[in-house]
Amino acid sequence: MDSTVKRVAVVATGVIGASWAAYFLARGLDVAATDPSPGAEERLREAVAAHWPTLERQGLAPGASLARLAFHARLEDAVANADFVQESGPERADFKAELFSQIDAAAPAHAILASSSSGLSVTAMQALCATPGRVVLGHPFNPPHMIPLVEVGGGEQTAPEAIARAMAFYTAIGKRPIQVRREIKGHIANRLQAALWREAFHLVNEGVATVADIDTAIAQGPGLRWALMGPFMNLHLSGGAGGVAHVLAHLGGPIESWWQDLGAPAMTDALKQQVAQGVAEELGQRTTEDLARTRDALLLDLLRAKQASGHLD
């Protein structure tokens, strides 16, 4: 554990914030949470309790305890003693700028202030802060208490030291942080997802495939490989002894021609309805909750297997 961070404040405790809170607790940290929504504390404690069995199977750090969670009605009280602040509020630049101004005014001078934002600019979020140099991106992937990835980056006024400290903290608690080296809408992983979604929606819209066909194509095809290693390493393995250089020499042209033929669908009401209906048909009698439980159980097994391999972690 990074000895410089002992107390974490979680600001906003919806799906992402509650998952973060559970994970921080599982790593043996004290967590002070706050959320202005009515009933927020009860929902948070229920969510953390629901995540706890999964975290126990992953392995708890020494001192990990649900008793180390405190809820505060006032944001100022939640961040007053924090070494690290994880914000997971609504995805609106104006809202976050004002929220970070309040956090910055109340948090100790040494605390790093991180946002879980899925795609907003850190420059915009830190604009109203008196000490903007400590504001960073700390974007997790859902669910944060299970998925290792965290995207870390800064804005125009972020100090390099703040990024380094955030990277070190996330690494110390078992995450796999990567640095977003230049601000860009959607960061890295969400842009990669968006590229796939764009073509998936296009293929459905053009009548090439159904929603279920698309899901099968990924889940029973390249998605199995992507769960083990990234696109460049997978491309390298497909080249045999010649590796990625061989692949690009022989398939570079065709790949480029596929890029040029990719679709750019409009998110029309008709397309939204078509996809929603397709998802409902694919779900059938299964509930969303059942699907999530199955996903999480398999995900835990996969993470364990990757770690045990010593090569794919």
pLDDT in tens, 273-291: 999 999 999 999 999 999 9
| Calculated CA dihedral for residues 270, 271, 277, 280, nearest 10 degrees | -150
Examine the domain organization and report whether 130 and 257 are in the same domain. Answer: no
User: Helix 211-219 to helix 189-205 angle, to the nearest 10 degrees?
Assistant: 140
Contacts of 126-130 with C-beta under 8 Å, sequence gap 24+, read: 126/97, 126/100, 126/155, 126/157, 126/158, 127/97, 128/97, 128/98, 128/100, 128/101, 129/100, 129/101, 129/104, 130/101, 130/104, 130/105
Domain final residue, candidates 156, 180, 204: 180
pLDDT at 142 (0 to 100)? 92
Examine the domain organization and report whether 159 and 291 are in the same domain. Answer: no
Domain final residue, candidates 142, 160, 180: 180
Examine the domain organization and report whether 293 and 275 are in the same domain. Answer: yes
Examine the domain organization and report whether 117 and 66 are in the same domain. Answer: yes
Examine the domain organization and report whether 79 and 169 are in the same domain. Answer: yes
CATH of the domain at 55: 3.40.50.720
Which residues fall within 8 angstroms of residue 292, CB to CB, at 6 or more apart?
A: none
Examine the domain organization and report whether 168 and 85 are in the same domain. Answer: yes
CATH of the domain at 203: 1.10.1040.10
Q: Is 1's pLDDT higher than 60? A: no
Examine the domain organization and report whether 73 and 210 are in the same domain. Answer: no
Examine the domain organization and report whether 146 and 250 are in the same domain. Answer: no
Paired with 141 in beta bridges are none
260-280 in b/e form (b: 16+ CB < 10 A) is eeeeebeeeeeeeebbeebee
Examine the domain organization and report whether 43 and 114 are in the same domain. Answer: yes
Do 155 and 135 touch, CB atoms closer than 8 A?
yes
pLDDT in tens, 45-104: 999 999 999 999 999 999 999 999 999 999 999 999 999 999 999 999 999 999 999 999
Mean pLDDT on 164-185: 97
pLDDT at 307 (0 to 100)? 87
Per DSSP, the three-state class of 305 is helix
Domain final residue, candidates 133, 149, 180: 180
H or E stretch including 298?
helix 288-309
How far apart (Å, rounded) are the C-alpha atoms in residues 258 and 161?
Answer: 42
pLDDT band at 311 (very low <50, low <70, confident <90, very high): confident
Examine the domain organization and report whether 120 and 156 are in the same domain. Answer: yes
Q: Is 313's pLDDT higher than 90? A: no
Asked if residue 1 belongs to a domain, the reply is no
Give the number of domains in the chain. 2
Mean pLDDT on 117-126: 97
Asked if residue 245 belongs to a domain, the reply is yes
How far apart (Å, rounded) are the C-alpha atoms in residues 184 and 233?
Answer: 24
How far apart (Å, rounded) are the C-alpha atoms in residues 172 and 164?
Answer: 12
Distances 11 to 36, 87, 133, 143, 220 between C-alpha atoms, Å: 10, 5, 19, 17, 38
pLDDT at 310 (0 to 100)? 79
Q: What residue numbers bound the domain in which 20 lies?
A: 7-180
Asked if residue 218 belongs to a domain, the reply is yes
Examine the domain organization and report whether 157 and 290 are in the same domain. Answer: no
Asked if residue 2 belongs to a domain, the reply is no
Give the global pTM.
0.93
121: tokens are: 């600019």
Across the chain, where does the E strand assignment appear? Answer: 7-11, 30-34, 69-72, 84-87, 112-115, 135-140, 149-154, 176-180
Which residues fall within 8 angstroms of residue 279, CB to CB, at 6 or more apart?
A: 211
pLDDT in tens, 230-271: 999 999 999 999 999 999 999 999 999 999 999 999 999 999
Which residues fall within 8 angstroms of residue 78, CB to CB, at 6 or more apart?
A: 9, 10, 11, 32, 33, 34, 72
Examine the domain organization and report whether 52 and 165 are in the same domain. Answer: yes
